[in-house]
Structure 1
Amino acid sequence: MSVEVRSATSNDAPELTALLNAIIARGGTTALETPFTPDRLDAAYLTGPDVWSCFVAVGPDGRLEGFQTLIREDRYPKDWGDIGTFTRVDGIQKGVGTVLFAATRARAGQLGLAVINATIRADNIGGLAFYSKMGLEDYAVDRAEPLADGTPVDRIHKRYLLNIDGHDAQN
């Protein structure tokens, strides 16, 4: 699939809310369990004050195929960004995550970040494989974090190291 990558805007919030809420409703791949409103999604992941960057992948027909956000999280050092990647559940978006990560990685380097962090549910095999393919390495596990229904699920922490000059430490 050929996609264009661009920065997200508040105008993308309604379509991306539907995309993310479909993922949440399906279950099993995101730690997010409460559906979003467009305003809440915009503030949290698209353009809010704690958003380092957010990129969208636009398909040839103009449909938003996915988005990747990089946010500040108080639990991590100030030079770490916390990443989240979300693609449509209806069909295969081959390559969408890869092009989004290239844009996010470049932006993280421009911002002078040292680390991109991803926290993935241990039962999200696809998410774990994706972030490993992008070069993120495991560094910690939170054991038996309960879901809203009480089901315990481990959370795997992965990180991608960036040099302070913006070049990838892995290369």
Structure 2
Amino acid sequence: MINVRPAIALDASSMARLLNEIIAEGGTTAIAKPVTGTDLSDWMASNDGQAAWHVAVNAGEDVVGFQWVAPGTDYLPAEAADIATFVQVGQTGLGIGSKLFNATRNAAKAIGYKWINANIRADNEGGLIYYQSRGFQDYGRIEGYEMSNGQIVDKVLKRFDL
């Protein structure tokens, strides 16, 4: 059984472990350098009520996924939030992302966002399928994006109207 709840600072270390495994595997996230629990805790605290973080936990309260919406990057208007989704390696396709998005979508509406932006590596087939299946629509592309590790990737921009 998977439950979704708002993330708290005590979840940050588990979230960092999950994310670092995804980073190490490569190919799906634009985050290229390992993160710490403190990094995630600081990110969670940094948006003055304009962000929402959720975790998916199993029956043992182990974090098996997390998702956030936060104020958009420079190219987005104030009414748009960026979204990021991470599911434990080997646990994709089990409905974790769907449950996370239900909570995140409701939280984004409550904050006052009008739409959600997904900025997905073009080579991340699973991510593209996930956001498409949630109802996100393509609206743009970033070509030649340089990640923090120097790797160059293209990104697909998808939009979900709230």
Q: Tell me, yes or no, whether TM beats 0.5.
A: yes
Distance verdict in 2 for CA 1:92–1:159, change over 3 Å? closer
The equivalent residue for 1:104 is 104
8 Å Cα contact 2:121/2:153 also seen in 1: yes
The equivalent residue for 1:48 is 46
Aligned Cα root-mean-square deviation (Å): 1.5
The DSSP-based 3-state class of the residue aligned with 2:51 is strand
User: CA shift at 1:42, angstroms?
Assistant: 1.5
CA offsets 1:144-168 (integer angstroms, 9 cap, x no match): 2234554431100001012xxxxxx
Structure 1 CA distance for aligned equivalents of residues 16 and 138 of structure 2: 29
Distance verdict in 2 for CA 1:9–1:86, change over 3 Å? same
Distance verdict in 2 for CA 1:38–1:107, change over 3 Å? same
The equivalent residue for 2:68 is 69
User: CA shift at 1:70, angstroms?
Assistant: 0.6
Aligned-residue sequence identity (percent) comes to 39
Distance verdict in 2 for CA 1:149–1:103, change over 3 Å? closer
The total of aligned residue pairs comes to 160
8 Å Cα contact 1:121/1:155 also seen in 2: yes
Amino acid at match of 2:129: A
8 Å Cα contact 1:8/1:47 also seen in 2: no
- Ranked by relative contact order (alpha carbons within 8 Å, sequence separation 6 or more), the top structure is 2
Distance verdict in 2 for CA 1:74–1:125, change over 3 Å? closer
1:82 equivalenced with 2:86 (yes/no): no
8 Å Cα contact 1:118/1:159 also seen in 2: yes
Normalising to structure 2: TM-score of the pair? 0.92
The DSSP-based 3-state class of the residue aligned with 1:60 is coil
CA offsets 1:75-110 (integer angstroms, 9 cap, x no match): 121111100000111444610000000001111111
Normalising to structure 1: TM-score of the pair? 0.87
Structure 2 CA distance for aligned equivalents of residues 47 and 3 of structure 1: 25
The equivalent residue for 1:33 is 32
8 Å Cα contact 2:32/2:149 also seen in 1: no
The DSSP-based 3-state class of the residue aligned with 1:25 is helix
The equivalent residue for 2:139 is 139
Structure 2 CA distance for aligned equivalents of residues 77 and 3 of structure 1: 34
